[in-house]
Homo-oligomer: A and B are copies of this chain.
Amino acid sequence: MKENLSPIVLDIAYDIAGDVKKFQEMFSDREVYNLQADDAPSDLSCIRYALVWKPRPDLYSRMPDLEVIFSVGAGVDHILNQGNVPDLPIVRFVDPTLTNRMSEWVCLQCLMHLRMQKHYERSQNQILWAQEHHPQACELRVGIMGLGELGQDAAKKLDAIGFQVAGWSRSKKEISGIDTYDADGLEAFLSRTEILVGLLPSTPDTAGIFNRSLFEKLVQNTPIGGPVFVNAGRGKSQVETDIISCLEDGVLGGISLDVFDVEPLPEDSPLWAMPNAYLTPHTAAESDSTAMARYVSGQINRYETGQVLENVVDRSLGY
């Protein structure tokens, strides 16, 4: 049976030791080769599928029969930035497990800023009974930049909690109950936004988009002090020196960052110790290996039965 179906090559540049077993279980009818393993085959010809994270430079030359590239994660900058990508479909990872986790992280960050969690964390450490006044979520305007699967789901959940939610995307999206803006409406979008949530892919267009000039266009006098910047898209979209200086001079009142220009965030980054800053180590939306195996299996099944692949990247857009 196994020899009838093309194997899958895993070229994933982080430790996935435990996950390979899950992949092998999910693909009981075909081989799964982990290029990180000692027993990985050297001959990859005749293999049609690869699942990758920052693939090695010679992968494509070693896989002359490759037909589909699957991305670990919703973003594909880790593939496109490596260069020399053959003209094959690249399939992004889109799955409720990823979307849910991302929305839960976004909701958590917005609520922590709404309810001044840093203040209560400090008070508790100092054994202080220090009451504060808090606005309601419905008094705060959250704006999401990026309205793909992740942005749309986060918008719906923030709306259900009670926040006033708007969304921005390059091309106009219609989302029930949410005000949306397109490229031309960026200034209007920013001028009504008190908590800015970044869920943008990393592309040439988004590089450094979250900078001082943009932060200065946010509502400056908010019910929670200054405006807040929340980013779980990609670190390349933010200018970290601007974030730091904006926190220092009050153009920003707080941040929540899950992504960074360099990861892991270097120990000497001032971000670690900025006031009202919540940092997480790129764990907002983990790519669950069971879900990923199920997704890739489903897509291969579609492909081999003549249906179109889903979530194929438009290379002209970069996502």
Partner of A265, one of B120, B129, B162: B129
Indicate whether A104 reaches chain B with its CB closer than 8 angstroms: yes
Assembly stoichiometry (copies):
2
On whether the beta carbons of B134 and A101 are closer than 8 Å, the reply is yes
- CB neighbours (8 Å) of A132 from chain B are 283
A160: Cβ under 8 A from any B Cβ: yes
* A10 nearest CB across to chain B (Å): 19
Closest B residue by C-beta to A285 = B134
**Interface size of A as a range:** 35 or more
**Contact sample, A vs B, 9 pairs, CB 8 Å cutoff:** A107-B161, A111-B111, A117-B117, A120-B280, A127-B272, A129-B263, A129-B281, A130-B281, A134-B283
Please report A residues at the B interface, Cβ cutoff 8 Å. 97, 100-101, 103-105, 107-108, 111-112, 114-115, 117, 120-121, 123-124, 127, 129-134, 136-138, 157, 160-162, 263-265, 267, 272, 277-283, 286
> Which 10 A-B pairs have CB atoms at the shortest separation, nearest pair first?
A160-B160, A129-B264, A108-B111, A129-B281, A100-B136, A131-B281, A124-B279, A127-B272, A131-B283, A120-B280
